[in-house]
Amino acid sequence: MSRFRMYPTPQQEHVMLDHCAHARYVWNLAVEQHSHWRRGRRAAPGFAEQCRQLTMARHESEWLGAGNARVQQQALKDFAKAKQARFTSGFGEPTWRKKFKHEGFRVIGADRVPAPCGDENAQLNARDKLVVSRAVVVQKLNRRWAQVKVPGCGWVRFRLSRAEVPQVKSFRVTFRNGQWHVAFAVIPEPVEAPGTGEVIGIDRGVKITAALSDGRRLNCPQLTVKERAQIRKRQRRAARAPKGSDRKAGEYAKVAKLKAREANRRKDWCEKTSTALARTYGLVRFEKLNIKDMTASAGGTVDQPGKNVRQKAGMNRVILAQGWGLLRRRTEDKAPGRVEDVPAPYTSLRCSACGWIEKNSRKSQAEFVCVSCGFTCNADTNAAVNVAAGQVERPGHSARAGGTTRPNRRSSVREPQLIWVGIPFS
């Protein structure tokens, strides 16, 4: 998916906002219809039947009929795909789209199908059956700018942040926090492996976003101190403003703009870091983390309220601001088949030098001192080296990378097992 910033004129922006409203309205009608038929335990109408119903609705509603039919039909097609993929995508049933939150529409096109050469009668018959739909037209203006044709708007300019113009058959226009973006549905070519066979382990954390086994430490960019102060200032002003006033909405809009800036920085960092990882290393191993459970709410229920809810909410925000999941997903997209997940247990407690597993070796968040061999290292780097080595066996089972076998009895200090090499047993 290639995403670019759009810069429409005020007239074009007005038309595209109407497209967003029509697409959202048609989608919500389809959700309501689907829910009604589900309650009656009957099969809901398919895409073809919904298109016929849309034609009737466009004749009855002047507001809906003034919109673009292609945009509205594509909203129904997107709903049909979401309904079919509800069991495999993990998102469940299609839900309602809300104003100011789900603003966008999709435009799809196809190339012209040429008529067959040869018999003239065959050409006439083929022309009678030929269905010609408009193709997605993208034009490059110069090194930094390009334009795309949007139904009802004509040419809309967007900032070209890549060398080549994408050749696609569909794109999606979105509007959020006062910014327009166009996303082209294109599958990028995977990044070629360097051929060195080098393995890198990545330990993800809060203080250090990504600690690499080669000693490097990568941090996701965050908002500056001044920007965070601006957010607090705007939030205080919005809290004091009258409910439903334009002043309250304006202050919240400024807060959303600052948070969108942070999200854009995080996405840009994840894209650049994932590309560098795919180009530099032959195999990338990530510490396997269940981010969904780690960032679950601690609110609880009315009968059993949660504990330290505000502290847990703050921790969730810090974790989500690191972009752990996005970095892992984009690396997998650019290096398919060269990304592995290593279970997290004992990776931070195991000494990467001798293989000892001891909780007392982890002195603090950043300091690791092995109680057995005295090896000293940064705790995150030590964990990244263990991730690069592979899965760490739990105590009491044979180790893979350390070359030792831990005893079954519990002990704070574990003695190594001698490994006999080249000496036959009598």
Report pLDDT digits (tens) over 220-266: 999 999 999 999 999 999 999 999 899 999 999 999 999 989 999 99
Distance CA 201, CA 388 (A): 4
Residue 27 has a pLDDT of: 93
Structural domain contains residue 386:
no
User: Within this chain, do residues 216 and 352 fall inside the same structural domain, yes or no?
Assistant: no
What does the CA dihedral 219, 224, 227, 231 come to, rounded to 10 degrees? Answer: 50
Q: What is the pLDDT of residues 120-142, one digit of tens each?
A: 444 434 333 323 345 578 888 88
- In angstroms, what is the C-alpha Rg of the chain? 28
Tally of domains in the chain: 3
Structural domain contains residue 232:
yes
Q: Which two tokens stand for residue 155?
A: 């040419």
pLDDT band at 412 (very low <50, low <70, confident <90, very high): very low
User: Within this chain, do residues 373 and 290 fall inside the same structural domain, yes or no?
Assistant: no
Distance CA 272, CA 277 (A): 9
User: Within this chain, do residues 23 and 138 fall inside the same structural domain, yes or no?
Assistant: yes
pTM, two decimals, is 0.75
User: Within this chain, do residues 327 and 412 fall inside the same structural domain, yes or no?
Assistant: no
Is the pLDDT at 5 greater than 70, yes or no? yes
Structural domain contains residue 388:
no
User: Within this chain, do residues 163 and 212 fall inside the same structural domain, yes or no?
Assistant: no
Count other C-beta atoms under 10 Å from residue 241's C-beta.
Answer: 16
User: Within this chain, do residues 369 and 291 fall inside the same structural domain, yes or no?
Assistant: no
Domain limit, last residue, from 300, 322, 343: 343
User: Within this chain, do residues 230 and 362 fall inside the same structural domain, yes or no?
Assistant: no
User: Within this chain, do residues 269 and 327 fall inside the same structural domain, yes or no?
Assistant: yes
User: Within this chain, do residues 161 and 272 fall inside the same structural domain, yes or no?
Assistant: no
Question: How many H-runs (helices) and E-runs (strands) does the chain carry?
Answer: 11, 14
Structural domain contains residue 384:
no
Domain coverage including residue 354: 345-377+395-426
Structural domain contains residue 243:
yes
Structural domain contains residue 191:
no
Distance CA 165, CA 149 (A): 14
**Hey, which residues does 155 pair with through a beta bridge?**
149
In degrees, rounded to 5, the angle at the alpha carbon of residue 123 between the alpha carbons of residues 117 and 124 is: 165
How large is the angle between the packed helices 10-39 and 47-60, nearest 10 degrees? Answer: 120
Is the pLDDT at 83 greater than 50, yes or no? yes
Is the pLDDT at 410 greater than 80, yes or no? no
Task: State in Å, rounded, how far the first CA of the chain is from the last one.
Answer: 66
User: Within this chain, do residues 312 and 413 fall inside the same structural domain, yes or no?
Assistant: no
Count other C-beta atoms under 10 Å from residue 205's C-beta.
Answer: 22
Q: What is the mean pLDDT of residues 267-274?
A: 93
Distance CA 92, CA 95 (A): 9
Residue 391 has a pLDDT of: 81
Percent share of the chain, pLDDT over 70: 85
User: Within this chain, do residues 372 and 224 fall inside the same structural domain, yes or no?
Assistant: no
Q: What is the pLDDT of residues 161-207, one digit of tens each?
A: 877 777 778 899 999 888 899 998 877 788 888 888 899 999 999 99
User: Within this chain, do residues 333 and 349 fall inside the same structural domain, yes or no?
Assistant: no
Q: What is the mean pLDDT of residues 339-358?
A: 88
Distance CA 22, CA 15 (A): 11
